[in-house]
Chain A
Amino acid sequence: MAKFETPLLDDLEKGPWPSFVTDIKRQAKTKPELEDLLGQLELSYKDKETHWKHGGIVGVFGYGGGVIGRYSDMPEKFPGVAHFHTVRVNQPSGLYYSSAYLRQIMEMWERRGSGLTNMHGSTGDMVLLGTQTDQLEEIFWELTHDMNTDLGGSGGNLRTPSCCLGMSRCEYACIDAQNICHDMTQTYQDELHRPAFPYKFKIKVSGCPNDCVAAIARSDFAIIGTWRDDIRIDQAAVQGYVKGELTPNAGAHSGRDWGKFDIVKEVINLCPTKCMSWDGNALKIDNKECTRCMHCINVMPRALRPGVEKGCSILCGAKAPILEGQRLATLIVPFMKMEPPYDECKELLNKVLDWWMEHGKNRERIGELIGRVGMREFLKAAELKAIPQMVKEPRSNPYIFWEEADVPGGWERDLAAFRKKHPL
């Protein structure tokens, strides 16, 4: 017998999509606090308002992040969720797991928490939802001692870096996204656990410009794989696509009849730089003009592959609209080789972080700081040379803040000599 009637939630047990209500109800049989969670959630469905409050910082000793405090605003009615804190667990790069490892975490979470999780939070962490303050140190102990696993980040610090699955199972990967992500996470442990930043800072790594982890939209420091030589072409396979022997788009469009594959219409004409040509026999690419958008490769993966001189582009400053408006990350380094231990990349990141820590206002993301003081200051701090690849177009106003050193003769002038020429 359920503790609370949940007619509104029960409606969400119908339909083909997996139902979280059905799932939580089953788990509630052994984790009675979830009865209270369902009761409170049903009340929110009735009231159309949340019943959680924040109020109070919780965490594990010595860490400034990784735990988010959460309290019910109706603790008498729903005592099982009076305290219902979140623990963020740092995910392994690429989100592969062995069942032995996950079972260990699940066993711990059933014992010390609610038995409810998010697989995964939007930053990438495994999110364990719902425990009490007195369990936090115990959980941290078991994670670190028995599972060799650490907490992730929250608050004004480095957030848990994340990546796509990269070279492990994707032929497009131009960099080892998982290794870079893991290495960066380990290098910046202090920044991850001990808030010293004006606000959050995210690093995301995608293996190619398809950008499956949304690095360009969601990270302060986006590392996106690319190449700088020629797309590799297998002309026989191109013929295979043209003759209909191979399935274009790796089958991604096969649910509708789009007609016979037409290489001119679907590839040559859609190439954004119009750098491809097809004479009926051979596909040619003017690689110097290619901007590596991935379209042709996505359409004909068996015929085209990224080049062999691989590395990454680095973009900086993406964020959601709050507060100074949304930003996509902007290009700061067109190409960098990425070999362990990634020193060049880390040196750049350190310069960027130092500058932001010195000049960023409270709750100012790095993209907003760049917006406030300008790329010029940013490039100076990052010791990067301005190049045309950094802009869509040059400025359309001439209001340049010239510096004295840039102007012949400086700003000091001889008044007497001036007045001799121009009497008052």
Chain B
Amino acid sequence: MLTLECPYCGVKADETELAPGYEAHLKRFGPGSSPEEFEAYMFARKNPKGVHFERWRHAYGCGKWFLAARCTATLEVFGTYPAQVSEPPADIIKKIQARRPEWKSGWQPDGKGTK
């Protein structure tokens, strides 16, 4: 059972209280973009086995979207943070590095830094 703390209202919400939103920090492409960019934004996913950044909504609470850093291989939660950012905050990165020294920050939407 997954428990995430909502960074807005501070509630430690059980997953039945939350709505999942999958990969976070996607760079949006709209009209005028190339088919490749639009496909990458709509469909191509990192789907990593390990550290992952995700969108979640506190659906049965305050209703707000927030972001979470989680390990998909162990279900460990590194932390949550408000959604009004385009990259994970430094303190979250630090927490992840403390737990996963081998992890290389790979959150960029273009995949740079994943290897």
- Are A and B physically bound partners? no
Q: Which residues of A come within 8 Å of B, CB atoms? A: none
